[in-house]
Copies of this chain bind each other. A is one copy, B any other.
Amino acid sequence: MNQWIEIVYVVASVMFILGIKMMGNADTARKGNLLSAWAMLLAVVVTLWNQEVISFGWIAVGIFIGAVIGVVAAKRVALTEMPELVALFNGFGGLASLLVGWAEVKSTGNLTSLASISILLTVWIGSVTFIGSKVAYLKLSGKMPGRSIAFPGMKWLNIFIALAIIASGVIWMTMGIGIAFYITLGLALILGFLAVIPIGGGDMPVVISLLNSCSGLAACAAGFVIVNNVLIVAGCLVGTSGLILTVIMCKAMNRTLSNVLFGGFSVASSKTGAIVEGEMKGITPEDAYYVLEAAQQVVVVPGYGMAVAQAQHAAKELGEILEANGTEVRYCIHPVAGRMPGHMNVLLAEADVPYEQLHEMDDVNPTMEMVDVAIVIGANDVVNPSAADDETSPIYGMPIINTHEAKTVFVLKRGKGAGFSGLENSLFFRENTRMIYGDAKATLTALIAAFKG
C-alpha cells in the first residue's frame, strides 16, 4: 500500500518539475500552473490513504476553511493588489511549515538528531518566511510605511540575534530543554522582522521572491522532519528555482541581491544624499539583458564609437528585438554626433532604421525621465552632463542629450577613452550608469545573443 503512495509521490514530483519548467515559458505558463495544481491535488489525496492518517474530521474542517478563504481572497483581490496577496499567502505557507515542525516536536517523543536539525531548520526558515512576508505585505498594502526603516547598530543587533537563535537551538537539541525551543522560535520571528523592515517598498517584489524561495526550503525541511519525498523534492525545487528567479529579478532592476537585502542598513548609517562623483561601474551584457528585457522605454544614443565599430546593423537589430519584446525604442541623434554632419544618419540609413524612429534631441530630452534605459553607443561628448552643469567646462552651454536623467544608462565603449573634445565625462560616474566595456559591435551582438538565448 505505502509503496504505491510513494510511487504516486514520485509521479507528483515529476509533475511539479514539468510544471515549473512550463511556467518559464509564456506559451505554456498557464498549463504549467495547472499541471502543478494537479500534482498538488494528487499528493494531498494520496496522503489521505496513508495508514498514519487515521482521522479525517479536523482535516476536512481545516481544508474547508482554508479553501474558502483562499478562493475568496483570490477571486476578490484587485489586480493591483496581487503582489501583496502573494506575499500574504507565502507567509501562510511559511507559518504552516513552522507549525508542522512544531507539531512534530509535540507529537514525537524521541527525536533523532537528523529530525531535530530538520525541525530547527523548519522552524527558523518558517518563522523568517512568515514574518518577512507579513511585513512585505504590510509595506506593499500601505499599512506600514513603504520606506526603509532602520536604526544605527541594527546590523550588530541582527548578528547578535542570529547567534542567539543558533545557540538556543543547539541547547534545545542537545539538552532537550523545552523552553529553548520557544526561545529560538521567538528570536527567529524577531530576526525575520528586523531583516525585512529596512528594505524599501520598491524592492519588495525581490524580497517576496526570496521569501518564496525560503518557504520552499521550509517545506523541504519539513519533508526531512516527517521523512517525505514529495515535500523534499517540491520544496527544494521551489527553493532553488525561487533563488534563481530572485537573482534574475534583481538583475532586471540592475541591483545585486546583497544590495537589495543590506542596502537599507547603509542608507540608514550614512545619510549623505546626492552622489556626486563615484566610480565607473561595469556590467556584463548578460546582466544588462535582464534590465533591457524588463524596460518599457528605451532611447538609443549613437556616437562616433558606433561608427568606428561599424555597429549600426547590430544596433538596429537590438532595436528590433526590443520592439518585438514590447519595448518602445527611439534613436536620438545629437547634431554633432560623429565626425561629419549627418554621420549617424548615413549609418542608420544604411542599417535601415525607419525614419520615424529617428528623433532630435529636443524631442527626446523632455521625456527622458520616463525612459527606463538609455543606451549610449560609443557617444561621449554629446551626452556629457558637464555641458549643462559645469560652467568651467569648455563645452559648457552646448545642448546635450540628457541621458543622465534616464532611470538607467548603459554606456557601450571600449575603455576609458575620452571623446573628441578630450573631456572627462561625469555621466560615466553616475549612480544610474553602467559601463559595458568592449567594442560596441561585439557588445551589441552579445546583448542580442542574450535575448535570443
Contacts and interface: CB of A to CB of B under 8 A. Distances in A.
Given A313-B316, A452-B448, A352 B352 contact: no
Contact of A313 (B351, B451, B452, B453): B351
A390 interface: no
A352 B453 CA distance: 25
A316 B449 CA distance: 16
A453 B317 CA distance: 16
Number of copies: 2
Interface in A309-354: 313, 316-317, 350-352
A351 B351 CA distance: 7
A-side interface size class: 10 to 19
Contact of A452 (B316, B350, B352, B452): B452
Nearest to A317: B317
Contacts of A316: 313
Contacts of A448: 452
A320 to B, nearest CB: 9
* Residue of A317, A351, A352, A452 with most partner-chain B CB within 10 A: A452
A391 B333 CA distance: 58
A182 B350 CA distance: 74
A452 to B, nearest CB: 4
A174 B453 CA distance: 52
A310 to B, nearest CB: 8
A313 B314 CA distance: 10
Contacts of A313: 313, 316-317, 351-352
Contacts of A453: 452-453
Nearest to A316: B313
Contact of A350 (B317, B350, B449, B451): B350
Interface of A: 313, 316-317, 350-352, 448-449, 451-453
